A and B are shown apart, each in its own frame.
Chain A
């Protein structure tokens, strides 16, 4: 408290002191018959010189920053299209840095050179059509080049993936990522958010998961029956707000369960096979070097953004719709570690759209494996398909914890873990 008072006192005294100084300055300028509107030649010259000095420091600072930090501090690209994009970025940078130096240079040089000098009148020069045409057409031509090259790359990058590309789904929620691989058939099973349950976090759609969801919704611990019982039970006394809340919840669940029954009616059980062989992967995303990956992105709650800085890839994940992006990694994690000379270096997937308090911690490591290693990793996942896991958890509830432990052990045995996080 005392320190706050002292700070306050210092501020007040400071303001008073400056005010007094101003007063003295003004009285003295009154004595010298100085008028604030008349800028003296000395002041003009001073500012003109400062313009030149500022320009030198400004350009010098920029060059220093470029030498020190480069213009792509995120390191070289680790995907095929990344090389193309980095080339384009560099080309654009060369153009804009040239424009930056020329125009800023002219601005500050003119500001320095054409300061008012006694006896020199300004040159009356209201317009010149040729000059104006020149600086309309030249930028237009340069921009034409930029637009054409940019759109060419954009079309390549956003084009459809080839049929044989590896299909992976990335599922986002506050505040982590989960990956789903498409398994043997390379087709991702369908999903619907209403099927979400403890043993079906990604809401994968099969005949079984629909049934489970319906039974949960109807007779689960906070299901419709339970709610109805509570609301009808005369022995329980509810405050009005609580009753309203429960009524609203009941209505919502009744609506959802109707939709689930519709889903059940429409569902084609042949599609189940697509889902059963999918497998789910947390914490670390494994990719295969040299293979194209087609990612489908989903979100459970709010908008997130799947940002792969190393692979020059990014796409938002939007609740209610599936977004997509494809890329082909062309550098393995091992190579990157050698290149960076940092055994702890990892590729990463970050969240790059504000999504809540812990937004800044939402990440997943990405490990790029050589094809052989990737295949052996795939083999190690053979017994962890959605089917295995789903029926394991539906039959006994308690295996959850032990299973994740096992996963960890398996990975360590295969030597495919992420570089150590901390010492």
Chain B
């Protein structure tokens, strides 16, 4: 395969760039750079939708039962009669918000975009191992996105069982309206999404192993590539398990099997299914679900390693330890899934095993954090917007990470399981960190993607509004959770009947949270404007705007199929030779041979 690809690229070397039709260039493109941009555009759109959904349900939480034109504008009379959303729709919004954010924005958008754009560019390959499979990967992603969006418009509503779709709620249309057509579409969409993810991941793995340019040994790879590599392996091993869970659930729904159902009476109807176990579904779901957290997070950590080093003008501290900790996190992520299930009725002894493995993950995570901080120490920090977002990422990774220690402790989890404390925890550590990583990546590699520069001032405004709003939303949420507020409640009026003091606390904080979330959403408009405006009208980029060392900055600004006009570059050193003593410039590109007497790192 690799040999064939090389030969094909040899052809390009001779003839250089050739014209392509509109369709083959922009629509059914095999070029990794275009496919990466397609992923990014789709994900940005999905992200905007998911953010809008969250604003809708935040309005309900802060001002329950109050009529809102905004809500009625989007939900219409069916789902929001008189501008007050229905209970079922509230759950539908929560479910689809979670699904889109986790899978479509932070998996497809983050790993899909940056793996595609950066893997060939940073390892010195002409393209992905298989351009065709890569194209299929995007098109499956698009189809699954459309199915998921479509499910918002079906008559019985979108899936409403939470993004974790635990059966029996998700299996029985009698239990909630969204478990009808909406759920079927959800499962179909995810099945297609998984196909997309597998095609992409296999391609990434093969490309990284086989298509590295001369001199690019595994220990000279930028940390981004290590991150994408581990992420792809996690995806290949865990997504099929979700597919099997989805298929079994589909069979329970459509053909009357009883994998997850047992002894149920619903809507006055006694079902004959017996012997299935809802816990089985949870095991299967979280066997993907937990690695998924790292599928979302690791690429963001990879991107930030690169950006923090470039903009501190210092090598990343502890390169080998960083690789080691990514590998350790990746491995451990497979043996911690049941920490989501401490109080599901699973054997408590099994729970204690998972307490142990889960808390172990804190060690490599701590190593990463300290390495980031040491990289900043005595650096010469240049505040590009990408650097700001990277520092934001390290902060949220810490802030969200430490609360994970509480949740991983089964004994403490008893009281805070499924409360807003959990919601706050995973939004900060996974949501914010990954989103910040994604923004950092967009700001940093925008010149490479579009050959234009983003406006820096708008980038600053975007970052500061975003981080203030983000902490403004999720910090108070911890306190709502510690007060005992369960998640996925349509409103908290029930507290009024037994504890007015706690009720007042929850309502106070809910209003604060919603105001910050609206501020945050408005802040994203700055980004959207800057992004689309700069694609068309932004100032032209130079070849190496951030003075980076890695290979992507040796390619011409104009995109060409095959990436390098002449021969592929040869690599002589690791990617982090910033401010090396004895060098004239404060960076030495990977393509510069070692000087006489110079030691490689």
Interface residues of chain A, those whose CB is within 8 Å of chain B, are: 3-4, 15, 18-19, 22-23, 25-26, 29-30, 35-37, 39, 43-44, 46-48, 50-51, 54, 58, 61-62, 65, 69-75, 85, 88-89, 92-93, 95-97, 99-100, 103-104, 106-108, 110-111, 114-117, 120-128, 131-132, 135-136, 139-140, 143, 146-147, 150-151, 153-155, 157-158, 174, 192-194, 196, 252, 255-256, 297, 300-303, 305, 307, 309, 312-316, 318-321, 323, 340, 342, 344-348, 350-361, 363, 365, 419, 421-422
| Alpha-carbon gap, A249 to B70, bound state (A) | 45
Does B22 have its Cβ within 8 Å of any Cβ on chain A? no
Question: Which segment, of B110-118, B212-220, B494-502, faces chain A?
Answer: B494-502
The answer on a CB contact under 8 Å between B362 and A320 is no
| A121-B586, A122-B314, A139-B366 as given contacts; A100 in contact with B417, CB under 8 Å | no
Does B509 have its Cβ within 8 Å of any Cβ on chain A? yes
| A44-B381, A47-B388 as given contacts; A111 in contact with B376, CB under 8 Å | yes
Does B410 have its Cβ within 8 Å of any Cβ on chain A? yes
Q: Which residues of chain B are near A62, meaning CB under 8 Å?
A: 475
Q: Count the B residues whose beta carbon is within 8 Å of the partner chain — how many?
A: 138
Q: Which residues of chain B are near A54, meaning CB under 8 Å?
A: 464, 467-468
Does B589 have its Cβ within 8 Å of any Cβ on chain A? no
Q: Which residues of chain B are near A115, meaning CB under 8 Å?
A: 380-381, 383
- For this complex, 21 residue pairs linking A to B, each with C-beta atoms less than 8 Å apart, are A3-B69, A36-B455, A36-B456, A37-B546, A47-B460, A85-B414, A88-B409, A92-B405, A111-B381, A125-B314, A147-B359, A150-B355, A155-B348, A158-B351, A196-B270, A302-B168, A320-B261, A321-B345, A344-B498, A345-B498, A360-B490
Q: Which residues of chain A are near B261, meaning CB under 8 Å?
A: 319-320
Q: A48-B381, A157-B411 are in contact. List 13 more A-B contacts (CB 8 A).
A: A35-B539, A47-B383, A65-B475, A73-B479, A85-B411, A121-B579, A122-B579, A303-B166, A315-B345, A319-B264, A354-B166, A360-B486, A419-B498
Partner of B87, one of A153, A192, A256, A358: A358
The answer on a CB contact under 8 Å between B348 and A154 is yes
The answer on a CB contact under 8 Å between A342 and B315 is no
Contact string against A for B residues 562-580, beta-carbon threshold 8 Å, 1 for contact and 0 otherwise: 0000000000000010111
Does B209 have its Cβ within 8 Å of any Cβ on chain A? no
For residue B351, give the distance in angstroms from its CB to the closest CB of chain A.
7
The answer on a CB contact under 8 Å between A320 and B264 is yes
The answer on a CB contact under 8 Å between B263 and A320 is yes
The answer on a CB contact under 8 Å between B262 and A117 is no
| A71-B482, A72-B482, A121-B586 as given contacts; A85 in contact with B412, CB under 8 Å | yes
Contact string against A for B residues 264-299, beta-carbon threshold 8 Å, 1 for contact and 0 otherwise: 111000111011111100000000000000000000
Question: Which segment, of B6-14, B126-134, B146-154, B318-326, faces chain A?
Answer: B318-326
| Alpha-carbon gap, A88 to B261, bound state (A) | 37
The answer on a CB contact under 8 Å between A104 and B168 is no
Q: Which residues of chain A are near B578, meaning CB under 8 Å?
A: 122, 124
For residue A66, give the distance in angstroms from its CB to the closest CB of chain B.
8
The answer on a CB contact under 8 Å between B476 and A146 is no
Q: Which residues of chain A are near B317, meaning CB under 8 Å?
A: 125-128
The answer on a CB contact under 8 Å between B402 and A356 is no
Q: Which residues of chain A are near B480, meaning CB under 8 Å?
A: 73
Contact string against A for B residues 377-391, beta-carbon threshold 8 Å, 1 for contact and 0 otherwise: 111111110001001
Partner of A103, one of B398, B501, B601: B398
| Alpha-carbon gap, A26 to B279, bound state (A) | 58
| A48-B383, A312-B414, A355-B169 as given contacts; A320 in contact with B277, CB under 8 Å | yes
Q: Which residues of chain B are near A95, meaning CB under 8 Å?
A: 405
Question: Which segment, of B41-49, B233-241, B367-375, faces chain A?
Answer: B367-375
For residue B517, give the distance in angstroms from its CB to the closest CB of chain A.
16
The answer on a CB contact under 8 Å between A320 and B278 is yes
The answer on a CB contact under 8 Å between A123 and B395 is no
The answer on a CB contact under 8 Å between A85 and B270 is no
For residue A156, give the distance in angstroms from its CB to the closest CB of chain B.
8
The answer on a CB contact under 8 Å between A359 and B276 is no
For residue A99, give the distance in angstroms from its CB to the closest CB of chain B.
5
Does B591 have its Cβ within 8 Å of any Cβ on chain A? no
| Alpha-carbon gap, A361 to B538, bound state (A) | 53
The answer on a CB contact under 8 Å between A39 and B314 is no
Q: Which residues of chain B are near A139, meaning CB under 8 Å?
A: 362-363, 366-367
The answer on a CB contact under 8 Å between A359 and B456 is no
| Alpha-carbon gap, A87 to B379, bound state (A) | 42
Does B78 have its Cβ within 8 Å of any Cβ on chain A? no
| Alpha-carbon gap, A75 to B502, bound state (A) | 9
The answer on a CB contact under 8 Å between A316 and B499 is no
- Closest A residue, CB atoms, query B312: A122
Partner of A146, one of B177, B262, B405: B405
| Alpha-carbon gap, A397 to B382, bound state (A) | 81
The answer on a CB contact under 8 Å between B498 and A348 is yes
| Alpha-carbon gap, A300 to B537, bound state (A) | 61
